[in-house]
Amino acid sequence: MRNTERYPVTGSNALWQIYKTVPFWKVVKNFIVIQLARYMPFIPVKNWLYKTFLGVKIGDQTAFALMVMLDIMFPEKISVGKNSIIGYNTTILAHEYLIDEYRLGDVIIGDRVMIGANSTLLPGITIGDGAIVSAGTLVHKSVPPGAFVGGNPMQLIYTKEEHAKQDI
């Protein structure tokens, strides 16, 4: 299950009330930084932009591929461990606006994690150390360490223990 905090709204839908939940100028700044970083070919510069201007926690030697889209409103809720790869055109969301509420949740990605291209990570999930997320996966719940997951909706393909037995 996802670990999100829920904030009810009244009247119009939550997205219509966006600037009651996040400051306008924060969104503008984040938009500019994220768009620059999406096309940045130099990984250390990209990581510096994310850490310095957005508050994203990023471990050493972690690589964000071209076109990765971080949460524009709450990027500070994203944490990625050491030596991980976030694949091309992946979207990482730390918020979701619904009709009667909005939800916020940390996205925690462990060390040595591989996220395949075109994946979407929803708020409130944790991806354990050494996990692999197949390309095109909708990560709607947490992933155990060492697991291999894929699909939409995401399904467990095998665990670290099952894979170890196959190698024998």
Report whether the peptide linkage leading into residue 153 is cis, meaning its omega lies within 30 degrees of zero. yes
Does the pLDDT value for residue 49 go beyond 70? yes
Does the pLDDT value for residue 59 go beyond 70? yes
Cα diameter, the chain? 60
Domain harbouring 150, CATH code: 2.160.10.10
Q: Considering only CA atoms, give the Rg of the chain.
A: 16
Does the pLDDT value for residue 31 go beyond 90? yes
Tally of domains in the chain? 1
Q: Give how far Cα 101 sits from Cα of 12, 97, 168, Å.
A: 10, 7, 50
pLDDT band of residue 161 (cuts 50, 70, 90) is: confident
What's the confidence (pLDDT) of residue 160? 75
pLDDT band of residue 165 (cuts 50, 70, 90) is: low
Does the pLDDT value for residue 168 go beyond 70? no
Q: Give how far Cα 68 sits from Cα of 48, 89, 93, 107, 143, Å.
A: 15, 4, 11, 15, 20
Where is 45: in which H helix or E strand?
Answer: helix 43-49
What's the confidence (pLDDT) of residue 13? 97
What's the confidence (pLDDT) of residue 80? 98
Domain of 48 in residue numbering reads as 5-166
Percent of the chain at pLDDT exceeding 70: 95
pLDDT digits (tens, 9 = 90+) for 74-100: 999 999 999 999 999 999 999 999 999
Average pLDDT, the chain: 96
pLDDT band of residue 147 (cuts 50, 70, 90) is: very high
pLDDT digits (tens, 9 = 90+) for 6-25: 999 999 999 999 999 999 99
Span 127-151, mean pLDDT?
A: 98
